[in-house]
A = this chain, B = another copy of it.
């Protein structure tokens, strides 16, 4: 069971943003990890606005580089990520989001995007499809579920 995230005040969000070193495009990579199992679910990108909205709302929001658009995870697919904690690394150039992922994180219908493992036989699929991607979107997008 997840404790609901308490939205942060703007003063705290500003101080957190001051720790982040964004790329020239104003982005920073963000790793999403299931808070209790430790499973790494996906990696996506955030900008200052999506970090701010995530810390205000308690729902993970990203910046879609392919669609050049704000993306509140789950708005289309229903596969919401509720925030548990947001951490910044030592250099300020990567974020770690501890989340409670409803359903699946991956657009393929798998729980995690990291389902291809390097094995002696080559790249092997190691995780099952749990949800029909067409049921998530009606179309076939790429990347994490949105």
Contact = CB atoms under 8 A, between A and B. Distances in A.
26 contacts: A6-B120, A8-B118, A9-B120, A13-B118, A19-B123, A33-B40, A37-B38, A38-B38, A40-B40, A43-B89, A43-B94, A55-B118, A86-B117, A86-B118, A87-B115, A87-B116, A88-B114, A88-B118, A88-B123, A89-B113, A90-B107, A90-B116, A90-B143, A91-B113, A91-B142, A91-B143
B91 A114 contact: no
A122 interface: yes
A126 B144 CA distance: 29
Contacts of A91: 113, 142-143
Interface residues of A, number: 47
A136 to B, nearest CB: 13
Interface of A: 6, 8-9, 11-13, 15-16, 19, 29, 31, 33, 37-40, 42-43, 55, 85-91, 94, 96, 106-108, 110, 113-123, 126, 142-144
Residue among A39, A106, A113, A115 with most chain B CB within 10 A: A113
A141 to B, nearest CB: 11
